[in-house]
Amino acid sequence: MEIAVLFFLSSGLFLGWALGANDAANVFGTAVGTRMVKFGTAALICSIFVILGATISGAGAAHTLGKLGAVNALGGSFMAAFSAAAAVYAMTKVGIPVSTSQAIVGSIIGWNLYSETVTDTGALIKIVTTWFVCPVLAAVLGAALYKVTHVVLGFAKLHLLRLDAYTRIGLVLAGAFGSYSLGANNIANVMGVFVPSSPFTDFRFMDLVTLSSVQQLFLLGALAIAVGVFTYSKRVMLTVGGGLMPLSAVGAWVVVVAHSIVLFLFASQGLESFLAGKGLPTIPLVPVSSSQAVIGAVIGIGLLKGGRGIRWNVLGGIFTGWMVTPVISALICFVGLYFLQNVFNQEVYKPVGFEMSEVVLDRLDKGKISREHFVDLTGQDFESGRALMLAVEKQTRLNSKEVSQVLDFAKVSPLTVSIDKIEHLDTDWFSAAQIQALKELSGRSYRHSWMLADALAQQSKAWKLLPKATANKLHNKGITQRLEALFRSFSDKNQK
């Protein structure tokens, strides 16, 4: 790997370190703060399970974050990760547990503004909604678990020494679960911006297991998180563990469990599959704030006790950190991208063109968006998504969803189906029918990515999207994720 690539990835490692330094407090802060678990023990367990969660279950939340903005150049990914890390580090320095999720969202929006990329409002709304839902859900769970736990302990009438031993074991087990959930949910914040421009290629280890480029990125980021846990997390652990509100050992256990459940709910692809299989609404897989979850759980217990003991001035400082973090991150990213491009002559984004050609207009017609809306735009080329969006909004009265569809179809993304890349696809992820359909298209080139998707759907039912319904949601999501992986792999910019 080239030195330049390692340099660009260094900001992702910095962000991973910052997340470990800050967010380890959310899984073991209450345990360490109440002196029920030693810091060294907490750091070791946290590191191991963060790595497991990131590599095994980290893909789900990363998909939603990628929709917010596809940072398509390593230089841009470097600055996005660096900006988020700088914002998190600044808050960590003063002992405030901030949201890494909010920091990376701010960075991506900063990159979108600089590159004139249209921000996916649907994805942004979904992510921002979780910023409010997450602490509320954690507060409800925290209060309910605390009440149930006290009722159970009242009936059990355990000796104090035995209760102490059980509580320590419970804190360790809850911390391990919380660390796994943290890795699964928040690794998207660390390495998600590098996925579209990943320098790694898939490889198979001893013909036993295939490590995708994304899994390699996540493993690298998880190792950086582990380093952050060991080197710089103790101060924030003490803030969470005792600074916001004094907690008993049982209260500390309840906070960790409530926080862990919330993170797991927003990261579990298995739960999503179960709910979709039963025809039930699914929980969005998005990287939520572990800081917000743990603070919400603490507040839930505090409110259950009548609000006594809550240090509202500390809570106010934490809320202020949550508010300013994405703004600071976005500003750092925007200014940093300017200097990286104009002073250091680095590519921070790859220009993406858009065109309103006849083939695009025909496809919009099939999608029930009449070409008559675009009479004055027919045949025109646009240098950015923002330029096309402004032209469409000026000429038509389409809603935001329809404008998004126009951008998707008009985007120029040349790709060529390569037999060499087909042969390296993970056969555990792609079905035999899907791979066979790809082989039949080998050597063909397409100007728009949706052309490949349509061609594959015509070749095999294995590539067809089903009518929109809750029962079909999981199937369609799987097809979409596989198509996005193919678009990255077959892009003419990635062909050797």
- Tokens 């949550």 locate to 322
Give the model's confidence band at 382: pLDDT under 50 very low, under 70 low, under 90 confident, else very high.
Answer: very high
Q: What is the pLDDT of residue 331?
A: 95
Judged against a pLDDT cut of 60, whether residue 58 lies above it is answered with: yes
Distance CA 227, CA 61 (A): 22
> How many helices (DSSP H) and strands (DSSP E) are in the chain?
21, 6
Overall average pLDDT of the 280-292 stretch: 80
- HEC-encoded secondary structure of 383-439: CCHHHHHHHHHHHCCCCHHHHHHHHHHHECCCEECCHHHHHCCCCCCCCHHHHHHHH
Residue 2 has pLDDT above 70, yes or no: no
pLDDT for residue 318: 74
Which of left, alpha, beta for 443 (phi over 0: left; psi -120 to 50: alpha)?
left
Q: Which residues contact 485 (CB under 8 A, 6 or more apart)?
A: none
Q: How confident is the model at residue 238 (pLDDT cuts 50, 70, 90)?
A: low
% residues pLDDT > 90 (the chain): 35
* Mean pLDDT, range 291-316, rounded to an integer: 82
Instruction: Report the alpha-carbon distance of residue 79 to residue 249 in Å, rounded.
Output: 41
Looking at residue 207, what is its pLDDT? 64
pLDDT at 128 exceeding the cut of 60: yes
Rg (CA), the chain: 24
pLDDT at 496: 44
Cα separation, 141 vs 267, whole angstroms: 17
Residue 205, helix vs strand vs coil: strand
Residue 443's alpha-carbon distances to 170, 283, 385, in angstroms, are: 57, 40, 29
CA distance 404 to 122: 10
Q: What is the pLDDT of residues 312-363, one digit of tens each?
A: 777 777 777 778 889 999 999 999 999 999 999 999 998 999 999 999 999 9
**In 10 A of CB 89, how many CB atoms?**
19
DSSP 8-state symbol, 494: G
Report, in this order, helix, strand and coil percent for the chain, each rounded to 5.
70, 5, 25
Q: Looking at residue 357, what is its pLDDT?
A: 95
Query: What residues have CB less than 8 Å from 342, skipping those under 6 apart?
Result: none
Q: To 10 degrees, the CA torsion angle through 335, 340, 341, 342?
A: 80
Phi, psi of 286 (to 5 degrees): -135, 150
Instruction: Say how far apart CA 120 and CA 207 lie, in whole Å.
Output: 39
Element spanning 204, H or E = strand 203-205
Instruction: Residue 58: name the closest of 167, 175, 197, 184 by CA.
Output: 184
What tokens were used for 209? Answer: 């297991």
Q: Which residue has the tokens 């994304």?
A: 214
Closest CA to 175 of 51, 299, 41, 35: 41
d(CA 37, CA 32): 5
Q: Where are the domains of the chain?
A: 3-342, 354-409, 415-494
Q: Is the CB of residue 419 less than 8 Å from the CB of residue 443?
A: yes
Say if residue 465's pLDDT is above 50: yes
Strand 415-416 with 445-446, pairing: antiparallel
The SS3 assignment for 464 reads: coil
At 249-279, the pLDDT tens digits run 788 889 889 988 998 888 877 787 787 777 7
Compute the distance between CA of residue 51 and CA of residue 177 in angstroms, rounded to an integer: 12
Q: What is the pLDDT of residue 423?
A: 85
Enter the tokens of residue 410: 């008009």
pLDDT value at 399 more than 70: yes
